[in-house]
Amino acid sequence: MTARRRNLSEFIPDVPAESPALPDRPAVDEQDSAARPAELPPGGRPRRPTARDLAAPARPAVAREALKVDVPADLALVHRLHRRRLDTGMDIRDQVAIAVDEWLTGQGY
């Protein structure tokens, strides 16, 4: 029996069921926006989306790229990821994306 593949947003409690409505944006003159440099958030870098942002239902098709790494066999990470997939239905790619993203964010990257 194969477990039903579930949407990543089902596993993330803080993702809203529906995407929030975007606020109305005021009309901007092209000259005004061309004269001002792009505004950046504190820290000077534009905000990258997190794995949790990409899991929102508003973005069902997420572009993916391969992350190929060798990990110590003694950790049995692949076996544990497969076991968690069977228990929860969460795709292994999504498990790895969320874990690595949260770890790097916690490290300040």
Q: What is the pLDDT of residues 4-35, one digit of tens each?
A: 777 766 766 664 555 455 555 555 455 544 44
How many residues does the structure list for the chain?
109
Dump pLDDT digits (tens) for 68-106: 999 999 999 999 999 999 998 888 988 999 999 999 999
pTM of the model: 0.47
Q: Are 56 and 15 in contact (CB under 8 A)?
A: yes
Question: Distances in Å between the alpha carbon of 90 and those of 19, 27, 58, 100, 103?
Answer: 21, 42, 18, 15, 19
